[in-house]
Amino acid sequence: MQWTQKEIIDYYHHNEFAYKLWGPNMHYGFWDDDVKTQRQASLRFNEVMAKTAGINSSDHVLDAGCGVGGASIFLAKTFNCKATGITITPRQVDLAYKNAEKAGVSHLVEFRQMDYMHTEFADKTFTAVWGLESICYAESKQDFIKEACRVLKENGRVIIGDGFASREHYEGNDEWLMTRWMDGWLVNNLKTPEQFARYAREAGFSETTYRNVTQNVKKTSRIMLFVSLPFLPLHIIDRVIRIRQYPTDALWNQYFAMKKNLWEYGIFMARK
């Protein structure tokens, strides 16, 4: 199923309460020996991404698909750099500004309603483009990569932390399993790391790197499975009668799809 921008906007508006449970950095997170809680894991992933991209005080980062501003605020507060967050959801812009004010970084960040595949920024505006669990929503990953390259200065880098397909094509039960969890979160498609690397080369990036961090997100994948257990009867019924999609469908099926190595979690970076 191809989800529209309006459907994605409505989805995030109606699931706003999830930010209160998960925190402003709502993503899988990165578990290592020093991490004890999900919120710590979320912040740790920000740190890993920033280290990979070499973020410093001289950067101006475009936070593509910024949500309620978690990453932009983290980058500004940690590195004293400028960050511009964009989202297609108007309500998230308001919440992001409120969160930035609470964090004391309003002078370093701005937030705007905008499609990250078709931005209004001039060529060579930013030194880094950041996408953390947001680029999965791009209907065309190739178009996003092209736009990222356009708005980046020379030697700028795009960094993406997200789910990646483990293969280009799925059939039978594998296809069903992938579709079920992606539909649960209104994700149109995933691409392989190799496809992202090809898109980057074609767009004009000079080098790419990729790190598979699936092992570091598996604990969150299990947590999501446990959260979905009270809704198990709905999943059983769905095996017989197709019922309406619901977010818990993603929580359940993402775990089993990852367990079957149908998808992986990784950090992709390309330098212009």
In tens, the pLDDT along 14-55 reads 666 566 666 667 789 999 999 999 889 999 999 999 999 999
pTM: 0.90
Average pLDDT over residues 144-165: 98
Which residues, 6+ apart, have CB-to-CB distance to 113 below 8 Å? 86, 87, 88, 89, 90, 93
Average pLDDT over residues 3-18: 69
Round to whole Å and give the CA distance between 134 and 153: 22
Beta strands per DSSP E along 30-134: 60-64, 82-87, 109-113, 126-132
Q: In degrees, to the nearest 5, what angle opens at C-alpha 245 toward C-alphas 239 and 250?
A: 85
Average pLDDT over residues 218-230: 87
Task: Summarize pLDDT for 74-126 with one digit per residue, the tens.
Answer: 999 999 999 999 999 999 999 999 999 999 999 999 999 999 999 999 999 99
Which residues, 6+ apart, have CB-to-CB distance to 142 below 8 Å? 199, 202, 203
Among the listed residues 216, 222, 217, the one whose alpha carbon sits nearest the alpha carbon of residue 252: 222
Q: Under CATH, what is the fold of the domain 5-271?
A: Rossmann fold (3.40.50)
In this predicted structure, the answer to whether residue 5 has a pLDDT above a threshold of 70 is yes
Average pLDDT over the chain reads 90
Beta strands per DSSP E along the chain: 60-64, 82-87, 109-113, 126-132, 152-165, 207-212, 263-271
| Amino acid residing at 211 | R
